[in-house]
Structure 1
Amino acid sequence: MRPRSMAKTKGSPRRSRCKRNRRRNKRARRPSREAEPTPTGPTGVHHIPDHLLELVLLRVGTPLALLRAASTCKRWCRLIFTDDATSPDHRFRRSLRAARVPGHYHVDGNNHVFVPDPLAADGFDRRQFSLDFLPAVPHGSLPWELADSRGGLLLFYRRDLVYYRMGRVWGGDTEYLHFPDMLVCDPLNRRCQGILYWEEMWPYQCLGLFLLDGAAADEPAAGGSSIAMSNFRVVAVTYESDVFEDDRGAPRACVFSSGSDGGWSMVESASGGDVPIPESRSISFAGRARSSFFWRMEHEGAVLALDDATIQFSLVTFPCTVVGMPEESSAFRVIGGDDDAVRVVRVMANNDLTVFRQLDSSGEWVVEKLVRLPEATSGLPEREETYFHGPAKIVATTTRHVLVTPQEETWIFSIDLETLEVDQAHERNRYAGAAYPFELPWPPALRADNRRRCSRMDLTV
């Protein structure tokens, strides 16, 4: 039996544990010096912690309102526009992308109609996107035609009526586009800049005109796209016939750079050799994705691609299960997305609209979406039983929608690639031409209001 005096010894383990517990409890009750003190006066939105403020912002009603919220102050902008993909703030990106693309310009014959996105329809006045400020075309020229869009700029071209008619005679059903005069415009600020054709390129046929950012690919502007009226590039993709073979040729890229030191220049091939392609009438633009432009070539086992960073051409082979056999005339389109993946939309022989996606990890192509067009359109107004006996045709594509019509008659409907819902009543289905996205400039034009404590700023569009 242990003596009683040993339990009361100054250095006993039991007494030491008791003292340590008392000191630990006292420290727990003492407020931390590093903790932010509770305000003694009135509190406001600035006292809400980041993780709670994020939950509030996630409940903002529309993408447009979220974009305006990002312009309130630096803290809100940081929460919404974080570059960390692993951060929970990454959830904002899809909504902000929708807010920055309020709609598309649809081609309708000689007219160009701005069709707003449903999510942004209540936040914009259509008159802001009017093109009534475009300059009148000279006598003997056709109206301005929309060629491309990039950011908040649009690229137009016009054709000479005489050469247009000569091209129709020489090419039959194919409309040869020779190097035209061009126009870059900013609809929001109602500004234009004309670009004259380059005389050296006049004899060649044009396969496409495209707008690119003015800054170099390795020097991106802070905050997003660097394109502006003072800083843009135009790429004209032309076709040069082979002097030894009538039905073969090679692509050429001519680049116009804005600014006092800009102008036209020919981009030479880095490999020193030409990329062989068939005659121009068998080539059609297929779309863009992951900073590349693609052209489909009939009866060829490869697709022509142009890298918009290096301005170099190459031949890319897609699996025949994705784009069809070379001898087939099946149409397909290449589209991108918010995840930067490459996708191919194709209408199969049995009228299955199929979306293929290339996996980044393995490069394998997989079926991502599938819509059986005859069944999906059953019950829609003016739907005829004679439709879809032949493969349907793709009218236009965006990153979100595909416009399709039966081969038998022009009866356009759209398919939402996220929900796979078929819509025949939307305004965009009234236009059988191409659709070009219009993106609001970022950073937006901000107007400071010094009367607010938080230096709140309003987005002006």
Structure 2
Amino acid sequence: MGNRRHKGKAAAKNKRRCDPPCRPTSVHDLPDDLLGRVILHVGSLVNLVRAAAVCRRWRRAIADAGFLARFRSVNGAARVAGHYYVPETQPPYPTNRPPPRRRQPEKKPTVFVPAAPSGAAVDDTGLFSLDFLPVTPLVVDGRRWRPEIVDSRGSLLLLNCQPWPISDYTRLQRSPDLIVCEPATRRFQGIPRPPDFSRLYFLGAFLLPGGDAMSTFRVLYVLYQYNASSYSSGTARVFLFGPGTESGWRLCWHTEDDDVKLPCVEKFSFAGRAAGRVCWGIETGQALVLDESTLDFSLVPFPDHVLWPGQKTSFRVIGGLDEDDDHATVRVVRVGGQSLDVFYQMPGSSEWVVESSVQLRDAAAGLPGWDDKLLKEPARIVAAGDTFVVLTPAEETWLFSVDLETMFLEREHERNRHVGQAYPCSLPWPPVLQACLDRDGVVGKRR
């Protein structure tokens, strides 16, 4: 009896030894619904694209329209992946009449600076390079010229394809050709200038809201037309380009246009864009305002304490910090003497009041690289956004910025390394996952 029991235990022990060991589990063993919940919290669109490269099963889960909708509801809209900086060779002149021309150094190419914290991943992939554009750099006045970014919206960029002329008195440009491109997908579309209006002067081109994809973008194109009877005044004209319009361009005529008489174009300078309005400062102390929703122009007189006539680098028009669609506000940043002031307009009133102010010379004295000879003259505004303004002393190029929420000055920020405007750019939404498909266009099975 005892011998039989011993043999039974030995047989059971040998059987356990013959059983295959338990296979370790991994994330691939998760059911589809749990896998979707895990990927839902990768945090950023960059990480989502990385996750799509793991295997076909993950790509199939991410490409699902329901998952993409849940991802956006959890993580919000696509964040800015970085900024394109368009460097200038020197800060802008205070007026539209610079001193006699001197040979300027060649402009540096546009540089893309990734935004933290996922910037390194974006930069390493070269995802935002513009080398796919079929445009050969031109040589203008002995310097190489490349198409320049003039606006951005979402994942799209708008570029000017015509060199700015170099003049002893002003930089006026005739209507240029444009390019709209999406760097992340390396797609682009050339936009020839409006026909029959090639001799008009160029005031600006802008991407309109609501068209954040290559198939839905709209371009606002603003030109200046001199009056036939006199070259001392003129009229602004608006063109709209977008899918479905006849021949691409549509001239937007308004009866109000002929009532808005403008001075000569040399007195204009772009002042900013905020709250659905595009603004140009005029040396007379007024501003030309274009409403993006109605495409109507108006002349807005600013009080003397808000704008300095004739000083285009002394003010910028920006948006409010707490904007929403129903109560979007416009603010004005102005440098007057040694102070920087932020004005906003009282709701339902034409009165402008000071929102915040800072004495630039006193606040900049403690910054790295400070020299006591700086800021004895009014500073020049180089670039501005809703939350910041970049300035430089008139004496020399020494970039610093002011945080408009705290009114603190700083020198170490990335935007203080570039003399020029910054244009934000995001990854496209929904993310382009064409590499996830088989040759027949069907998403592959789990690897």
Please, what TM-score do these two structures have when normalized by structure 1? 0.68
- Cα 1:262–1:290 shift into 2, 3 Å: farther
- Cα 1:445–1:395 shift into 2, 3 Å: same
CA contact (8 A) 2:257 2:296 kept: no
CA contact (8 A) 1:330 1:348 kept: no
**Is the counterpart of residue 314 in structure 1 residue 298 in structure 2?**
yes
Q: Percent identity?
A: 41
**Is the counterpart of residue 149 in structure 1 residue 134 in structure 2?**
no
CA contact (8 A) 1:105 1:112 kept: yes
**What CA deviation, in whole Å up to 9, does each residue of 1:133-181 have, x standing for no partner?**
22223766742111111221111112268xx36xx2xxx2311111112
Other structure's SS at 1:375 match: helix
Other structure's SS at 1:271 match: helix
Q: CA deviation at 1:266?
A: 1.4
**Is the counterpart of residue 263 in structure 1 residue 262 in structure 2?**
no
- Cα 1:327–1:75 shift into 2, 3 Å: closer
> Which position in structure 1 is the counterpart of 2:215?
230
**What CA deviation, in whole Å up to 9, does each residue of 1:25-72 have, x standing for no partner?**
xxxxxxxxxxxxxxxxxxxxx9xxxxxxxxxx9xx9999889999x96
- Cα 1:204–1:80 shift into 2, 3 Å: same
**Is the counterpart of residue 335 in structure 1 residue 318 in structure 2?**
yes
How well do the aligned residues superpose, as a CA RMSD in angstroms? 3.7
Other structure's SS at 2:122 match: coil
Aligned-partner residue type, residue 134 of structure 1: L
Other structure's SS at 1:124 match: helix
- Cα 1:253–1:329 shift into 2, 3 Å: closer
> Which position in structure 2 is the counterpart of 1:105?
84
Aligned length: 361
**Is the counterpart of residue 129 in structure 1 residue 128 in structure 2?**
yes
Aligned-partner residue type, residue 299 of structure 2: L
Other structure's SS at 1:409 match: coil
Structure 1: how far apart are the matches of 2:307 and 2:74? Answer: 41
- Cα 1:330–1:436 shift into 2, 3 Å: closer
**What CA deviation, in whole Å up to 9, does each residue of 1:300-319 have, x standing for no partner?**
4x210111122221112233
- Cα 1:319–1:384 shift into 2, 3 Å: same
- Cα 1:62–1:303 shift into 2, 3 Å: same
Other structure's SS at 1:438 match: strand
Larger radius of gyration: 1
> Which position in structure 1 is the counterpart of 2:334?
346
Q: CA deviation at 1:384?
A: 1.2
> Which position in structure 1 is the counterpart of 2:4?
none
Q: CA deviation at 1:192?
A: 1.1
> Which position in structure 2 is the counterpart of 1:433?
420
Correspondence list, 1:11-410, <5 A: 77-78=72-73, 100-108=79-87, 109-118=107-116, 121=119, 124-125=122-123, 127-137=126-136, 142-159=145-162, 164=165, 168=167, 172-213=168-209, 225-259=210-244, 261-271=246-256, 273-300=258-285, 302-324=286-308, 326=309, 331-336=314-319, 337-339=321-323, 340-349=328-337, 351-360=338-347, 362=349, 364-410=351-397
**What CA deviation, in whole Å up to 9, does each residue of 1:402-449 have, x standing for no partner?**
1100011111112222233322122321211122222444455589x9
- Cα 1:123–1:338 shift into 2, 3 Å: farther
**What CA deviation, in whole Å up to 9, does each residue of 1:265-302 have, x standing for no partner?**
211014362411111111000001111100000024x2
- Cα 1:122–1:255 shift into 2, 3 Å: same
Where structure 1 has 5 or more consecutive residues not aligned to the other structure, the ranges are 1-45, 47-56, 82-95, 214-224, 450-461
Q: CA deviation at 1:368?
A: 2.2
**What CA deviation, in whole Å up to 9, does each residue of 1:223-271 have, x standing for no partner?**
xx43211122222211111233322111111222235755122110143
Counterpart pick for 1:422 among 400, 405, 409: 409
CA contact (8 A) 1:249 1:277 kept: yes
Where structure 2 has 5 or more consecutive residues not aligned to the other structure, the ranges are 1-32, 34-40, 52-61, 88-106, 437-447
Structure 2: how far apart are the matches of 1:357 and 1:123? Answer: 39
Q: CA deviation at 1:382?
A: 2.2
Structure 2: how far apart are the matches of 1:123 and 1:138? Answer: 29
Aligned-partner residue type, residue 161 of structure 2: R
Other structure's SS at 1:146 match: strand
- Cα 1:323–1:252 shift into 2, 3 Å: same
- Cα 1:261–1:273 shift into 2, 3 Å: closer
Structure 2: how far apart are the matches of 1:409 and 1:416? Answer: 22
